[in-house]
């Protein structure tokens, strides 16, 4: 459990805690995502956060395991359910929370909101709210790296709903045809909004689809953070060494509704409760405790740290000023170019 791959620390941009075991860092990061999003849901109720808010609660092992397997210099392309990915890529929680509030101190200056978190300096190319929209972008980022002789992986997160889009098939084909270093990371939470996978796809084995483009694949339990980490690490290594793409499917589940407008009429409460028993935070901390690598006090300490970070982020977002309306037309085009 005390794996300390050289890539993990540099890759995450999170507060470096050299003394803390790797497993504790994984747990701490899942808790940071969870507590941040629970607070977001609360703030949505209080109308501090508006628009769409897609919570990742239940799926934290995917972003956590995967992000810890990437290098700091790798590109990341994400979806509209990307709060956790942004956070673990190193976007400060203050900037994420301020973005949710719509403040100019937000990581996208308040112009993007929950679905469009960006951080160019950390090569985080955004939340993309068109399902499948990120795949061609990831192919292009990888193409640019290849043409410039840069050895870098482009990690592209998307949900299983995206595999129904043409963009998935076109992107998969281009990446395979041109042997581009794209790491396709499919978070299969079984429901595309309200439509179950087997109600929308004739072939529900997603790896088969990727393999039909001659892309190597791995399928892994997305509720198990260590399994996610190990699969992503292996896949990223192969992409880095051999140059071509790789497809990893994480089997996971979202515990909350699709968005804050979703009454969840399409799935049984019993199914949700069954998956919750396998909740990634709960099961990983139990595993660590059973192995004698975590005490209840240790868990509470990590949790308290996450809560404190969230409280500070909310205070920052609350205090941050609104962008003046006079600035409305900025950032449509690049300054200096007349429009």
Partner 1 sequence: MRISYREAMRQALHDALASDPRVFLMGEDVGRYGGTYAVSKGFYDEFGPERIRDTPLSELGFVGAGIGAALGGMRPIVEVMTVNFSLLALDQIVNSAALLRHMSGGQVSVPLVIRMATGAGRQLAAQHSHSLENWYAHIPGIRVLAPATIADARGMLAPALADPDPVVMFEHAQLYNMEGKLPDNWQCDIERAAIRRPGSQLSLITYGGSLPKALDAAAELARDGIDVEVVDLRVLRPLDTETIAESVSRTHRAVIVDEGWRSGSLAAEVMARIVENCFYDLDAPPVRVCSEEVPIPYAKHMEGAALPQPAKIVAAVREVLNV
Binding site for partner 1 (CB under 8 A): 75, 106-112, 116, 118-121, 125-126, 128, 130, 133, 135-145, 147-148, 166-167, 170-171, 173-174, 177, 330-334, 336-339
Given the complex with partner 1, which of 270 and 329 has the nearer CB atom?
Answer: 329
Backbone angles phi, psi at 253, to 5 degrees: -155, 135
- Residue 338: exposure state from Cβ atoms within 10 A (0-12, 13-18, ≥19): exposed
- Residue 4: exposure state from Cβ atoms within 10 A (0-12, 13-18, ≥19): exposed
CB of 82 to partner 1, least distance (A): 12
CB of 157 to partner 1, least distance (A): 15
What is the rounded end-to-end Cα distance, in angstroms, of the chain? 55
- Residue 287: exposure state from Cβ atoms within 10 A (0-12, 13-18, ≥19): middle
CB of 91 to partner 1, least distance (A): 11
CB of 133 to partner 1, least distance (A): 6
Partners of 52 in the β-ladder: none
Sheet containing 217-221: order of strands: 75-77, 154-159, 182-188, 246-251, 217-221
Given the complex with partner 1, which of 104 and 207 has the nearer CB atom?
Answer: 104
Q: How far apart are CA 91 and CA 96, in angstroms?
A: 7
Given the complex with partner 1, which of 28 and 95 has the nearer CB atom?
Answer: 95
Helix extents (H) in the chain: 6-12, 22-45, 60-67, 83-88, 93-101, 134-147, 166-177, 206-211, 225-242, 269-276, 280-290, 296-319
CB of 308 to partner 1, least distance (A): 27
CB of 314 to partner 1, least distance (A): 20
Structure letter (DSSP) for residue 253: -
Given the complex with partner 1, which of 85 and 109 has the nearer CB atom?
Answer: 109
CB of 55 to partner 1, least distance (A): 20
Given the complex with partner 1, which of 247 and 253 has the nearer CB atom?
Answer: 247
CB of 317 to partner 1, least distance (A): 15
Given the complex with partner 1, which of 28 and 155 has the nearer CB atom?
Answer: 155
Q: How far apart are CA 219 and CA 201, in angstroms?
A: 18
Given the complex with partner 1, which of 42 and 331 has the nearer CB atom?
Answer: 331
Structure letter (DSSP) for residue 105: T
Structure letter (DSSP) for residue 330: T
DSSP string, 73-92: TSEEE--SS-HHHHHHTT--
Are 12 and 68 within 8 A, CB to CB? yes
Given the complex with partner 1, which of 64 and 154 has the nearer CB atom?
Answer: 154
């Amino acid at each position: 459990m005390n794996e300390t791959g050289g890539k993990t620390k540099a890759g995450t941009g999170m507060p470096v805690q050299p003394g803390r075991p790797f497993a504790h860092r994984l747990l701490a990061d899942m808790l940071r995502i969870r507590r941040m999003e629970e607070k977001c849901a609360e703030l949505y109720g209080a109308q501090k956060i508006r628009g769409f808010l897609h919570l990742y609660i239940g799926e934290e092992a995917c972003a956590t395991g995967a992000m810890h397997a990437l290098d700091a210099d790798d590109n990341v392309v994400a979806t509209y359910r990307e709060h956790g990915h942004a956070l673990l890529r190193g976007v400060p929680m203050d900037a994420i929370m301020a973005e949710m509030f719509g403040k100019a101190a937000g990581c996208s200056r308040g112009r993007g909101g929950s679905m469009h978190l960006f951080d160019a300096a950390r090569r985080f190319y955004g939340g993309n709210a068109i399902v499948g929209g990120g795949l061609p972008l990831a192919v292009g980022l990888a193409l640019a790296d290849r043409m410039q002789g840069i050895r870098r992986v482009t990690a592209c997160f998307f949900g299983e709903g995206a595999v129904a889009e043409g963009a998935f098939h076109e992107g998969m084909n281009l990446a395979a045809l041109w042997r581009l270093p794209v790491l396709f990371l499919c978070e299969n939470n079984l429901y595309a909004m309200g439509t179950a996978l087997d109600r929308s796809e004739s072939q529900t084995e997603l790896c088969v689809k990727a393999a039909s483009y001659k892309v190597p694949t791995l399928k892994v339990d997305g509720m198990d953070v260590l399994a996610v980490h190990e699969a992503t690490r292996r896949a990223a290594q192969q992409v880095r060494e051999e140059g071509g793409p790789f497809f990893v499917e994480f089997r996971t589940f979202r515990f909350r509704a699709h968005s804050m407008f979703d009454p969840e009429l399409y799935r049984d409460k019993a199914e949700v409760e069954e998956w919750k028993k396998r909740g990634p935070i709960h099961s990983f901390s139990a595993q660590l405790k059973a192995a004698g690598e975590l005490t209840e006090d240790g868990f509470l300490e990590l949790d308290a740290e996450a809560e404190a970070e969230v409280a500070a982020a909310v205070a920052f977002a609350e205090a941050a000023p609104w962008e003046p309306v006079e600035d409305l037309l900025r950032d449509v085009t690049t300054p200096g170019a007349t429009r």
